[in-house]
Chain A
Amino acid sequence: MVTTVKNSALTVLIAEDSAPDRLILESIVKKSGHIPVVAADGAQAVQAFEKHLPDIVLLDVLMPVMGGVEAAKIIRGQTQDTIVPIIFLTSLSDDESLVECIEAGGDDFLTKPYNRVVLESKIKALTRVREMHKTMVRQKQTIELHNQHLIREQTVAKQLYDKIAHSGCLDLNIIKYYMSPQAVFNGDVLVAEVGPAGNMMILLGDFTGHGLPAAIGSMPLASTFYGMVRKGFSMLDILTEINSKLHDILPIGFFCCATCIDVNLDKRRLKVWSGGMPDSMLYKVSTNSYEIIKAKNLPLGVLSEKEFKCQEMRLPLEPCDRFFMWSDGIVEARNEDGEMFGDERLRRLLERRPGSPGLFDEIIGQVHNHIGTSDKDDDISVIELDVQHIPKRPAADETKKIQEGHLQDWAFSFYLATTSLEKYDPLPLIINLINDVPGLKERSSTLYTVLAELYANALEHGVLGLSSELKATPSGFAEFYDLKHARLSALDEGNIEIDLQHKLHPDGGELTIRILDSGAGFDFTAREAESKVETTSPGQSGDSLNFHGRGFDLLESICDRIVVHPPGNCVEVAFVWKRDDVL
């Protein structure tokens, strides 16, 4: 019989001062398949407890030397983490003593005459409680471990996120932004970077869902954004790429609402793309009013690459204009009564003192006042861009270190055949290459201008044979571009070759760019004459009149040498840079 209960045999401490009673309990415990340990008083019981660490304790209440109640208190003091049930042995009948027993840590009572069935049941019941407690303690430890693990993972994820998301130009003082800590891990993402053409792009995204799953999508978004902006891709190219990336990786039903702007103050224009986001506002300093920009697209990640069509808005821009955007967290921020901050309140706030420099802080302040201590919807991202020329940033020391051992003396030849000319833009690829060269990376914006000009000339005038005369009038400008598109799509023969050569000088380096097109060449002397006309009367050379000639002047101002090889379809420029040049 004993063997069947062997694996659940418990050590039972019996503390009872009457020898015959002790003998009976010992027999019951043994017969039930457990191991008895006996003690004749409270002091012995405490000693035996420390020595044998029993699973259950039977304590007589009235014992010489030390009573059961006192012994129970000592034993309880030693078993804080584990449950060791204590059963009081008693013939007491007055309630007060029973209360005292329970308060001392007793779990049950056993009255005389001792009964085997009763004691066995009590041991079984208390063992169940004990097992439950053990399981609970084990699960609690597991949960604690999981929790620690989760916190560690979140810390790592946050570091990773910060490295990716904050590697751009968010630190520029013309960008004011506020993102509540909860917003970051609820999938709000903000990225900003300056492109090689001197434009700046800012994207505010709001992923569906909450927590880590929502935040994870911001990683590919941020890395795609930065990678492509730096290489000079257009906003539409970047959004198309982000959209298809998110479409591929995000589960069904997950997407990213976003507003993206491309600011080019040189061209005095703002491009806005918005999908699924609340209205953005452009404060126009000229009219002292706001232009409301509505989201016209589906969020990123919803449509496949084929279905994705970008509708961007172009707006004229002046210095000191201000652009505001936010995720829906600010509109939906609730106070203690569950009332939302709301679009209305936000509009009133914006209208009260249009374009005021303190507006941004006021919005944040008002929203926090509204939320008060309710603290439940603190999921807020707000961005304000003060439209100013982008301040130059000194090159970070660490980029110099990274670039050691990179390209120094090299040459590169890139041939674009007919089919590539229609849609492919080779500039991002070349800028990417240039960014790998110490000394050139810092000048990539200037080089982008040079390359863009040379490539446009080769394509438009060389391959397509368009006349630059057309661009002399504003209406001709439009005609020029219509013609360009028409000829491009009808193009069946043509190519452009781009050759780059870089040589390191002791104090810097020299980059030679040679662009050869399949066209008939162009009249160099005519250009020279045109150029002379312009340079002799700079005061009158307004932009609108000289769009067509500006390109070469620009090249002359940047490059150290310009050679046009006959018959005029091959232009070679040299760009010399010095290490200590002020950027």
Chain B
Amino acid sequence: MSDISYDLDLTLIEGLRELLEDKFAELIETFKTDSARRIALIARAVPAQDLDVVSQEAHGLKGSCRNLGANSLAAICDQMEQDANAGDASQMEQLLTAIEQQFAAIAAVMDDLLEYPNSD
């Protein structure tokens, strides 16, 4: 998974850690659970060509990603949402795969952040 390139804004995440204090871990867990739930919904909707669900869940995931500094993942979600809104299902499979791969990489980094807080 090391070959997956992603963009995670660590400064933003450190800001969130300061803001949420003891709830930071809950935030990370909630992000992971909620995102996993949305990705599962998208994974089911893509083969079924249910573009409404795809658009809705991609939109939700995009927002959360932006809030947690996962900018590259947010960009892919945005692409998926726009395609779904335009009724264009041609790229859905590839976009879904990219989302799944990026999410897995980001979730791992986030786990590390929880276990080993920034040494600064």
The answer to whether A and B interact is yes
Chain A interface (Cβ < 8 Å from any Cβ of B)? 17-21, 23-24, 27-28, 31, 62, 64, 91, 112-114, 116
CB within 8 Å for A23 and B26 given contacts A28-B19, A62-B56: yes
Q: Which residues of chain A are within 8 angstroms of B19 by Cβ–Cβ distance?
A: 24, 27-28, 31, 116
Contact A20 B31 (CB under 8 A): yes
Of B65-73, B87-95, B112-120, the one touching chain A: B65-73
Question: Which residues of chain A come closer than 8 Å to B59, judged between CB atoms?
Answer: 62, 91
Please determine whether B69 and A113 come into contact, CB atoms closer than 8 angstroms: yes
Give residues of chain B (30-49) contacting chain A, Cβ–Cβ below 8 Å. Answer: 30-31, 33-34
In the bound complex, residues from chain B placing their C-beta under 8 Å from that of A27 are: 19-20, 23
The answer on a CB contact under 8 Å between A112 and B56 is no
B56 surroundings in chain A (CB, below 8 A): 62, 64
A23-B26, A91-B62, A113-B69 in contact; A18/B16 too (CB < 8 A)? no
B64 close to A18 (CB less than 8 A):
yes
Please name the residue on chain A nearest to B21 by beta carbon: A27
Known: A91-B66, A113-B69. Is A24-B20 also a contact (CB below 8 A)?
Answer: yes
Instruction: Show the binding face of B for A, using Cβ within 8 Å.
Output: 12, 16, 19-20, 23, 26-27, 30-31, 33-34, 56, 59-60, 62-64, 66-69
Cα distance A91–B78 in the bound complex, in angstroms: 10
21 contacts between A and B (CB under 8 A): A18-B34, A18-B63, A19-B34, A20-B27, A20-B30, A20-B31, A20-B34, A20-B67, A24-B19, A27-B19, A27-B20, A27-B23, A31-B19, A62-B60, A64-B56, A113-B12, A113-B66, A113-B68, A113-B69, A114-B67, A116-B19
CA distance A228 to B67 in the complex (A): 90
Total A-B Cβ pairs within 8 A: 51
Give, as a whole number of angstroms, the nearest-CB distance from B114 to chain A. Answer: 14
Q: In the complex, which of the residues A17, A23, A31, A114 contacts B30, with contact meaning CB atoms closer than 8 Å?
A: A23
Do A24 and B63 touch (CB < 8 A)?
A: no
Are the CB atoms of B60 and A24 closer together than 8 Å?
A: no
For the complex formed, measure the closest distance between the CB of B23 and the CB atoms of chain A, giving whole angstroms: 6
Look across to chain B and name the residue whose beta carbon is closest to the beta carbon of A62.
B59
A18: chain B residues within 8 A (beta carbon) = 34, 60, 63-64
Residue of B with least CB distance to A91: B63
A60 to B, closest residue via Cβ: B63
In the complex, chain A residues whose CB is within 8 Å of the CB of B64 = 18, 20-21
Compute how far the CA of A18 lies from the CA of B63 in the bound complex, rounded to whole angstroms.
Answer: 8
| B68 adjacent to A20 (CB under 8 Å) | yes
| Contact partners of B60 in chain A: CB under 8 A | 17-18, 62
Contact A113 B30 (CB under 8 A): no
Q: When chains A and B are docked, how far (Å) is the Cα of A294 from the Cα of B59?
A: 91
Min CB distance, A34 to chain B, in Å?
Answer: 14
Nearest CB in chain B to that of A24: its residue: B67
Q: Are A112 and B30 in touch, CB under 8 angstroms? A: no
* Whole-angstrom CA separation of A17 from B34 in the bound complex: 10
B27 interface neighbour in A23, A64, A116, Cβ under 8 Å: A23
Q: Which of B23, B26, B62, B63 has the largest count of A CB atoms less than 10 A from its CB? A: B63
CB contacts (< 8 Å) of A21 on chain B: these are 63-64, 67
Interface pair A113/B20, CB less than 8 Å apart? no
Docked-complex contact A24 and B27, CB < 8 angstroms: yes
Complex-state Cα separation, A21 to B62, whole angstroms: 11
Not counting A24-B27, A91-B59, A112-B66, a sample of 8 additional A-B residue pairs whose C-beta atoms are within 8 angstroms of each other reads A18-B63, A20-B31, A27-B19, A27-B23, A91-B63, A113-B12, A113-B68, A114-B67
Q: Which residues of A contact B33 (CB under 8 A)?
A: 19
A60 to chain B, nearest CB (A): 8
The 5 A-B pairs with the shortest beta carbon distances in the complex, nearest first, are: A112-B66, A20-B31, A20-B30, A113-B67, A19-B30
Q: Once the chains bind, are B67 and A112 in contact (CB under 8 Å)?
A: yes
A91 CA to B75 CA in the complex, in Å?
A: 12
> Nearest chain-A residue to B38 (Cβ)?
A18
Q: Is the CB of A112 within 8 A of B26?
A: no
In angstroms, Cα B19 to Cα A112, docked, is 16
Instruction: Give the shortest distance, in Å, between B44 (CB) and chain A (any CB).
Output: 16
Report A112 CB to chain B, min CB distance, Å. Answer: 4
Residues of B within 8 A of A20 (CB): 27, 30-31, 34, 64, 67-68
Docked complex Cα distance between A19 and B68 (Å): 12
| Interface contact B20-A112, CB-CB below 8 Å | no
Q: In the complex, A228 Cα to B72 Cα: how many Å?
A: 100
Known contacts A18-B60, A18-B64, A113-B69: A23-B12 contact under CB 8 Å: no
- Residues on the A chain within 8 Å of B26, using CB: 23
Check if B20 sits within 8 Å of A23, measured CB to CB: yes
Residues of B within 8 A of A17 (CB): 60
